[in-house]
């Protein structure tokens, strides 16, 4: 596990009206924050036949990595919407990327079968206490590096990242603001919070593919934690997400995937400003297809 760096973004700071810092978690092992939760969950396992999950890519890659470290087989169930580069990264770590269905919910059915019939431990990507606790280390790490941080902008999907970071950060600094950011297309947590209970949404293609998938109709932890701990939520269009990817590449020299660019996209769109102190944008992952990144940034191969 790496201690990932923070760096100030001069251009975003000017746009946001105050200091903006980038927490470069896309430099983590496996290219995303997910290793924190996966490694914590695997470390706490007993005797199992293997591990499984359903994933939009980054959690599956992290679980494959953590399982390989302790010699456990891993079967990662993914939907047809998961990009090929993320499936390939899973298999490169010695795990099986099993394509099942057209949504994360459908992929979960196969993971549950493996748990039920073959003795695999099912480690979900977000709604699990060990996952939330592992992601929470990011909140403590950010405040160790930037003790006066006033606002944390967190990519929001199933809520494991936001819940863990918010729990840890608010325990140390109760006044800190937690802003969740997601895409307009298929944001399950946003729809669930609006409805007042977990709901299903249609899973569609988006540049922020790591933020896709449902939160589970039987969500036990993250729905309530996000509802109670989040101070605001921002939704972005696909064009705004692309602008974030492009800006971070051109101005800050950082290659990130769509989910990691939502904080920058929100600042660029005028939807997020620094208030009362430093604003920290969590760059959650860098596992973007290289060809897609070149297309968005406007580079030629």
Query: Active site includes 34?
Result: yes
Which candidate, 108, 129, 106, 117, places its Cα nearest to that of 54? 108
Catalytic residue among 9, 23, 34, 182: 34
Catalytic: which of 55, 79, 157, 284?
Answer: 284
With tokens 């047809």, the residue in question is: 80
Sheet holding 120-122, edge to edge: 96-99, 74-78, 50-54, 120-122
> In 45-195, which ranges are continuous DSSP H helix?
58-70, 84-92, 104-118, 129-145, 160-172, 188-195
Q: Are 256 and 283 in contact (CB under 8 A)?
A: yes
The token duo for 67 is 């399982």
Please list the helix, strand and coil fractions of the chain in percent, rounded to the nearest 5, in that order.
Answer: 50, 15, 35
Where in the sequence numbering do the catalytic residues fall? 34, 284
């Amino acid at each position: 596990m790496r201690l990932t760096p923070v760096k100030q973004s001069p251009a975003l700071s000017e746009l946001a009206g105050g200091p903006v810092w980038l927490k470069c978690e896309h430099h983590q092992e496996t290219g995303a924050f997910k290793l924190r939760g996966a490694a914590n969950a695997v470390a706490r396992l007993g005797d199992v036949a293997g591990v499984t999950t359903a994933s939009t890519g980054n959690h599956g890659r992290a679980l494959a990595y953590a399982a390989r470290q302790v010699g456990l087989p891993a079967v990662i169930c993914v939907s047809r919407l998961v990009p090929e580069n993320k499936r390939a990264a899973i298999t490169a770590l010695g795990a099986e990327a099993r394509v099942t269905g057209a949504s994360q919910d459908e992929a979960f059915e196969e993971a549950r079968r493996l748990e039920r019939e073959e003795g695999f431990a099912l480690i979900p990507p977000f709604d699990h206490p060990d996952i939330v606790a592992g992601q929470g280390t990011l909140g403590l790490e950010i405040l160790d590096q930037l003790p006066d941080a006033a606002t944390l902008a967190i990519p929001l999907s199933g809520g494991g990242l936001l819940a863990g970071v918010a729990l840890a950060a608010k325990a140390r600094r109760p006044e800190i603001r937690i802003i969740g950011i997601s895409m307009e297309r298929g944001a399950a947590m946003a729809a669930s919070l609006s409805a007042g209970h977990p709901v299903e949404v249609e899973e569609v293609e988006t540049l922020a593919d790591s933020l896709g998938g449902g939160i589970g109709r039987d969500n036990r932890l993250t729905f309530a934690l996000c509802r109670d701990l989040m101070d605001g939520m921002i939704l972005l269009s696909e064009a705004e997400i692309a602008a974030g990817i492009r800006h971070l590449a051109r101005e800050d020299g950082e290659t990130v995937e769509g989910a990691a660019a939502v904080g920058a996209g929100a600042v660029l769109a005028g939807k997020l400003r620094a208030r009362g102190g430093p604003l920290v944008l969590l760059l959650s992952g860098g596992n973007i297809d290289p060809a897609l990144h070149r297309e968005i940034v406007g580079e030629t191969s």
